Amino acid sequence: MSTAAGRVICPRCGENNFSTQANCWKCQSPLGAGIPAPMPSAVMPRIPQPASGNVVAVPSPVGTAQRFVDPAVAFWSAIALAFLFPAVAVPVGIIFLMLDDRRKIEIGKITLIWGLVFSLLQTIFFVWVYSEAVHQLKALIPMAGQLSNGGQGAQMPNLNQKVEQLSIPGEQPATENVPFPEPPQAK
């Protein structure tokens, strides 16, 4: 069991725990002093780092499986997350900045920066689309602009005015005007 800045590394699975915890959060093994580690150091050999620095083999403390971390995939995954879901990328980047692993902190920085950039671009895009939509609606509805001014200068049509009779080409015009009968008056 090793400690670093108020943290305790589990001797069984190697996970990072708070020093106030009695058991490991992952494997539930006790974190007290004097607990022998089930995997001696002879079982987990050191794996040399590759010269290229692109793929790092991380030994797994439990079993023989190894995890491979490709920094390019992590970098582009962080940018894809920020592009597709900028509102999610910002808190994820902040959470990754709080971790102890240097590689995860770098991914957190990338995710946070690109999340903020894409959030700003998304906001500008939606403001532009909204203003264009309002402009198009005002062009489609000519009275909308006049009515938004409180009706000043808006000419409402007079529905009581007399209109000319419609003449259809090729039809004989009516010789007599037959007025509509007046409605009966109440006495």
User: Quick one: what percent of the chain has pLDDT higher than 70?
Assistant: 65
Contacts of 21 (CB under 8 A, 6+ apart): 8, 31
- pLDDT of the residue at 174: 62
Per-residue tokens: 81: 């997350």
Residues 145 and 138: their CA atoms lie apart, in Å, by 6
- pLDDT of the residue at 67: 60
What's the pTM? 0.41
- Of 7-11, 68-72, 77-81, 125-129, least confident by mean pLDDT is 68-72
Phi, psi of 18 (to 5 degrees): -75, 150
* pLDDT mean across residues, the chain: 75
- Residues 20-43 have pLDDT tens digits of 888 888 888 888 754 444 444 444
- Residues 103-115 have pLDDT tens digits of 888 999 999 999 9
- pLDDT of the residue at 4: 54
Instruction: Map out the domains of the chain as residue ranges.
Output: 70-146
13 versus 2: which is more confidently predicted? 13
Residue 65 has pLDDT above 70, yes or no: no
Beta-sheet pairing, 7-9 with 16-18: antiparallel
Residue type, 111: T
Residues 120 and 113: their CA atoms lie apart, in Å, by 11
- Residues 156-165 have pLDDT tens digits of 667 777 777 7
Residue 5: left if φ>0, alpha if ψ -120 to 50, beta else—which one?
Answer: left
Inter-CA distances, 93 with 69, 82, 110, 116, Å: 18, 9, 7, 10
169 versus 155: which is more confidently predicted? 169
